[in-house]
Amino acid sequence: MATQTTFRLKGKSRDSSLELVLDFPLASIKSDKHLAEAQRVMDRLLGGGRRNLGEETYLDAWSDLVAAYEDAHHAIEPASAADMLRQLMDAKGVSQIQLSRETGLPTSSVSEILAGKKPLSRQMIQTLADYFGVDAGVMAASI
């Protein structure tokens, strides 16, 4: 049974998309070997210069399939509060003492957070988010 859709590729875009699908069919990734092959195909498209709509559509579909497989099989754990704070401090080029002075957070609290001995409180999250100019959710994601 044919399905009607308003999204259609035409002309060169359709031809390039069909050629790519015939060469390396779109399918759910079932193994790391298949993942590696998909990444090679994507790298080739990404390194090939300007892409037409058919190539972009094909690449987008593979990006979604790769993301789904990696989320299920190679998930990256969220950064700890200590890692997140350390990264933000490094990016801004501030020391523990400078962070303490400029935020009003006790130096001992900053040290304990960085050592993984103390969790972030809601007030600390908001203070640090404001100081570093990031969304509070960035800091809260680690708790």
What domain range is 54 assigned to?
A: 11-73
Q: For position 95, which CATH number holds?
A: 1.10.260.40
3 lies in some domain: no
Under 8 Å between Cβ of 63 and 42: yes
Domain termination site, one of 73, 98, 118: 73
CA distances from 67 to 6, 29, 35, 46, 58 (A): 26, 10, 10, 16, 14
Q: Residue 110: how many CB atoms within 10 A of its CB?
A: 22
3-state secondary structure at position 61: helix
Dist. CA 38–CA 44, nearest whole Å: 10
Under 8 Å between Cβ of 124 and 110: no
Average pLDDT over residues 104-108: 95
4 lies in some domain: no
pLDDT confidence of residue 11:
83
59 lies in some domain: yes
Model confidence, pTM: 0.57
**Whether residues 105 and 129 fall in one domain:** yes
Dist. CA 84–CA 109, nearest whole Å: 15
5 lies in some domain: no
Query: What are the tens digits of pLDDT across the range 50-72?
Result: 999 999 999 999 999 999 999 99
Query: Which of the pair, 23 or 79, is modelled with greater confidence?
Result: 23
